[in-house]
């Protein structure tokens, strides 16, 4: 039973008559001698359940965030590796081209050499990735195990 004392504070609410009657009926069915005690306990119970649900939901969101962060970090690392391979390939291609030139080359000649040399470098890269990271399916290269629709 609700004890009225110095540490209690009256709080008013104004439910519709049908809601009040339903609360009163439930309180009687459950053996409450006071409708106030019934309301207090149900508010507290609902509040605790809400906190538990929010806590559980935030744990799941934290796990998903961590998984996505890990995947992002792995993707960034892989992108960095591919960029370094590309840079090394283009760099080496330019250096080899200049070694074979007797008097050097103009910028447009370097660009044209990179364009002409690209299919060879892409073929080498595809050979390195084929089977482990990419596969050739129905005339297209795709990520191993992926749909390619992402």
pLDDT of residue 52: 67
Nearest 5 degrees, angle CA 71-CA 64-CA 51? 160
Give the residue carrying structure tokens 């090394």. 88
pTM: 0.35
pLDDT of residue 125: 81
pLDDT of residue 68: 92
Question: CA-CA distance, 122 to 82, in Å (whole number)?
Answer: 12
Q: How far is CA 122 from CA 75, 77, 90, 119, in A?
A: 20, 20, 11, 5
> Around Cβ 35, how many Cβ atoms within 10 Å?
15
Domain ranges of the chain: 17-84
Q: What's the length of the chain? A: 150
> Around Cβ 40, how many Cβ atoms within 10 Å?
14
pLDDT of residue 1: 45
Instruction: Going residue by residue through the chain, which has 150 residues, state the pLDDT in tens, using 9 for 90 and above.
Output: 456 677 888 888 899 999 999 989 999 999 988 888 888 888 888 877 776 666 766 777 888 889 999 999 999 998 888 887 777 777 888 888 899 888 889 999 988 988 888 888 788 888 888 888 888 889 898 898 765 555
């Amino acid at each position: 039973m609700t004890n009225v004392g110095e540490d209690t504070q009256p709080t008013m609410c104004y439910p519709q008559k049908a809601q009040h009657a339903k609360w009163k009926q439930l309180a009687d069915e459950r053996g409450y001698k006071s409708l106030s005690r019934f309301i207090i306990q149900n508010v507290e119970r609902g509040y605790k359940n809400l906190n538990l649900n929010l806590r559980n939901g935030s744990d799941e969101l934290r796990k998903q965030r961590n998984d996505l962060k890990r995947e992002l970090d792995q993707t960034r690392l892989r992108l960095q590796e591919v960029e370094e391979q590309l840079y090394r390939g283009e760099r080496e291609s330019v250096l080899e081209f200049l070694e074979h030139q007797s008097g050097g080359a103009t910028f447009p000649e370097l660009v044209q050499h990179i364009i002409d040399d690209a299919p060879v470098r892409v073929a080498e890269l595809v050979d390195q990735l084929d089977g482990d990271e990419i596969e050739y399916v129905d005339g297209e290269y795709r990520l191993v195990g992926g749909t390619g629709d992402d």
